Amino acid sequence: MAVEPRASIQTPLEPARTGWLYRVWKVIFILFCFELGVFLVVFPWLDYWNTNSIATLTPWMLNLWDSPYFRGALSGLGVVNIYISLAEVFRFRRTPVDRMKLSSL
């Protein structure tokens, strides 16, 4: 009984998404993530932060809302959103040939 070696299994490459609708949605996603990130980094530290209606709903919410730890956590989420948008920009700029080279590694 002879055992034949298996042929190397290759996964099919996913087709490159290069349609104009894909690109438009990608740009919208990148802009949304970037703008949300900048907003979350900057806005919790402005004077307008204490003048909105969410802070005045309940007394315990006011204490949480004024906490620098809560503001820092929101700014951290903003940094994550900015990172996601920049990563998507670099991923968007790669050509389909570059994607195929990376997937074959």
Q: What is the pLDDT of residues 22-71, one digit of tens each?
A: 889 999 999 999 999 999 999 999 988 888 777 777 777 888 888 999 99
How many CA within 13 A on the CB side of residue 42? Answer: 7
Q: pTM for this one?
A: 0.69
Give the model confidence (pLDDT) of 66-82 as tens digits.
899 999 999 999 999 99
How far is the C-alpha of 90 from the C-alpha of 94, rounded, in Å?
7
